[in-house]
């Protein structure tokens, strides 16, 4: 203790000497006092109340204090630690992440950090450990080849369970009034006869196909070129903006042609009809700038986790690998979040309470 006292005295003296009105001097005092406070604080925290040393803000450093104790020690599992889950920007994904995070935190005692980043950017997080898991991947064969097959920084964690469809949609009222638009699967150029009706200030003389977030899987520019359509891709910027535009068009009885997808809670709120393009055949989408068919069915939405997490023995990996649900499950949770304004945790808890047998099967 005397050592510390001497040290403090030296700092004290130094501080008063250098205090002659210089900013450096004052900063030095500040630093010295901070150091003092800091040591006092940590020792006090350690001795007086362990609860005072606190979970770390974002990325816990190895030296960081106690992590939150598991609330339910299910079996004798390996400690879970921190799991970084990418949160891609659509509510369906948010529902996946909400339920998985809830279970990881409440049932396995993990610390979950959700990272709101785009699909492609998420994969870049595997090599540096910024991302441990992506819960709903739509296709992305090129990224799969690079990160899973070649670099081996990520591993396939099996299907998500939901079955995806991407395509072009119009309001049902529009399809009823113009049934010929549904013949686009055999005669895609019929779409050109409707181009005028889908025109907006953004598409100029062409028809508008309203795409969503620029980061979503989209081949629309290639499809327009491949099928020779008089259309222009316009991006709404986000799923929410697309939802809003579609709802506004339906409310106001205006035509709209939109890039859309299921599972999607919003599709349960509005009446949209899929405009089928020529069905996908092998090779029809090889040249991404000239695609002559509709999107393939995304029957196998899947999960990817970092190799680091997969080999860590963490129970989180097992839960993420086992996680597997249906379009209806996802839509239910997504609607809690987006329609009923619940927080992610509230929504997840509601679903978890209502479906105990489903998630029990995912636990390690």
Partner 1 sequence: MTAASMSLGRRAEVRLSRGRQLALLIGLWAVLYLIFNGKLTLAHSDDAPLFQSLNGVRDWIDANRTSLPLFVYVLDPIRDGIGWLIDALTWVFSNFSWLGVTAIFGAMGLVFVGWRTAILVVGAFVAFGLLSLWDQAIQTLVLILVAVVMSLAIGIPLGIVAGRSDRFLKVITPILDVMQIMPTFAYLSPLTLVFLIGPPAATIATLIYALPPAIRITALGIRGVSSEAVEAAESLGSTGFQVLRKVQLPMARSTIGLAVNQTIMMALSMVVITALINAPGLGESIIQALIKLNLGQTFDAGVAIVLLAMVLDRLTASASKVSDRRHRGLDAVSQVRRRTLVIGTWLAAAIVVVGAALLAIPQSFPADITVDLASPINSIGDWIETNLYVVTGGIKDLFSEWILNPLQTVLTSSPWPLVIIMAAGIAWIISGRRAAIAAAIALLLVVGLQLWEHSMETLALVIIAVAVTMLIGIGLGVAAARSNLFSAIIRPINDAAQTMPAFVYLLPAVALFGATRFTGILAAVIYAVPAVVRLVEDGVRGVSPTVIEAATAAGSSRLQMIFKVQLPMARRSLLLATNQGVVLVLAMVVVAGLVGAGALGYDVVAGFAQFNDFGKGMAAAISIVLLGVLLDRITQGAGARTTTASAARTARAFFSARAVGVS
> Which residues, 332 to 361, sit near partner 1 by CB under 8 A?
338
Q: Residues 314, 83: contact at Cβ < 8 Å?
A: yes
Q: What is the nearest approach in angstroms of partner 1 to the Cβ of residue 314?
A: 20
Q: Is the Cβ of residue 202 or residue 271 nearer to partner 1 in the bound state?
A: 202
According to CB under 8 A, which one of 1, 63, 69, 72 is a site residue for partner 1?
Answer: 63
Binding of residue 196 to partner 1 (CB under 8 A):
no
Binding of residue 213 to partner 1 (CB under 8 A):
yes
The footprint of partner 1 on residues 248-307 (CB under 8 A) is: 248, 288-289
Question: Closest by alpha carbon to 261, among 123, 159, 164, 177?
Answer: 164
Structure tokens at 66: 């106690």
Binding mask 10-39 for partner 1 (x = CB under 8 A): ------x--xxxxx--x--xx--xx-xxx-
Of the candidate spans 176-184, 190-198, 229-237, 262-270, the one that interacts with partner 1 by CB under 8 A turns out to be 229-237
Helices (H), 52-134: 91-108, 119-124
197 alpha-carbon distance from chain centroid? 34
Q: Is the Cβ of residue 142 or residue 271 nearer to partner 1 in the bound state?
A: 142
DSSP-derived 3-state class of residue 175: helix
Q: Give the Cα separation of 105 and 107 in Å (integer).
A: 6
DSSP-derived 3-state class of residue 174: helix
Q: Is the Cβ of residue 242 or residue 332 nearer to partner 1 in the bound state?
A: 242
The backbone torsions φ and ψ at residue 37, rounded to the nearest 5 degrees and listed phi first, read: -55, -45
According to CB under 8 A, which one of 169, 198, 235, 266 is a site residue for partner 1?
Answer: 235
Binding of residue 48 to partner 1 (CB under 8 A):
yes
Structure tokens at 177: 């009034």
Q: Residues 7, 15: contact at Cβ < 8 Å?
A: no
Q: Give the Cα separation of 193 and 207 in Å (integer).
A: 10
According to CB under 8 A, which one of 8, 14, 18, 65 is a site residue for partner 1?
Answer: 65
Q: What is the nearest approach in angstroms of partner 1 to the Cβ of residue 233?
A: 10
Binding of residue 75 to partner 1 (CB under 8 A):
no
The footprint of partner 1 on residues 108-167 (CB under 8 A) is: 115-121, 124-125, 127-128, 130-131, 140, 142-143, 146, 150
Q: Give the Cα separation of 304 and 323 in Å (integer).
A: 12
């Amino acid at each position: 203790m005397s050592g510390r006292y001497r040290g403090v005295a030296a700092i004290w003296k130094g501080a008063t000497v250098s205090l002659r009105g210089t900013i450096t001097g004052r900063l030095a005092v500040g630093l010295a006092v901070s150091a003092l406070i800091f040591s006092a604080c940590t020792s006090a925290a350690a001795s007086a109340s362990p609860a005072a040393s606190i979970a770390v803000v974002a990325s816990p450093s190895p030296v960081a204090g106690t992590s939150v104790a598991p609330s339910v020690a299910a079996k004798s599992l390996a400690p879970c630690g921190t799991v970084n889950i990418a949160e891609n920007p659509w509510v369906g994904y948010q529902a996946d992440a909400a339920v998985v995070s809830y279970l990881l935190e409440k049932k396995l005692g993990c610390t979950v950090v959700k990272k709101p980043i785009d699909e492609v950017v998420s994969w870049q997080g595997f090599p540096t450990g910024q991302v441990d898991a992506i819960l709903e991947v739509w296709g992305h064969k090129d990224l799969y080849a690079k990160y899973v097959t070649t670099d081996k920084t990520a591993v396939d964690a099996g299907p998500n369970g939901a079955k995806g469809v991407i395509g072009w949609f119009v309001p049902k009222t529009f399809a009823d009034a113009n049934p010929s638009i549904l013949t686009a699967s055999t005669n895609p150029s019929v779409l050109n006869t409707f181009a005028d009706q889908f025109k907006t200030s953004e598409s100029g003389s062409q028809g508008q196909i309203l795409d969503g977030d620029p980061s979503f899987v989209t081949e629309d520019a290639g499809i327009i070129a491949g099928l020779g359509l008089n259309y222009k891709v316009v991006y709404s910027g986000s799923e929410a903006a697309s939802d809003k535009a579609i709802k506004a068009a339906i409310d106001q009885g205006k035509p709209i042609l939109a890039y859309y997808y299921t599972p999607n809670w919003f599709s349960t709120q509005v009446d949209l009809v899929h405009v089928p393009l020529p069905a996908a055949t092998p090779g029809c989408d090889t040249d991404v700038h000239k695609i002559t068919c509709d999107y393939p069915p995304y029957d196998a939405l899947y999960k990817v986790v970092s190799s680091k997490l997969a080999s860590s023995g963490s129970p989180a990996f097992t839960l993420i690998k086992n996680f597997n649900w249906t379009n209806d499950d996802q839509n239910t949770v997504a609607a809690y979040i987006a329609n009923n304004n619940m927080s992610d945790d509230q929504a997840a808890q509601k679903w978890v309470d209502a479906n105990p047998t489903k998630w029990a099967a995912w636990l390690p």
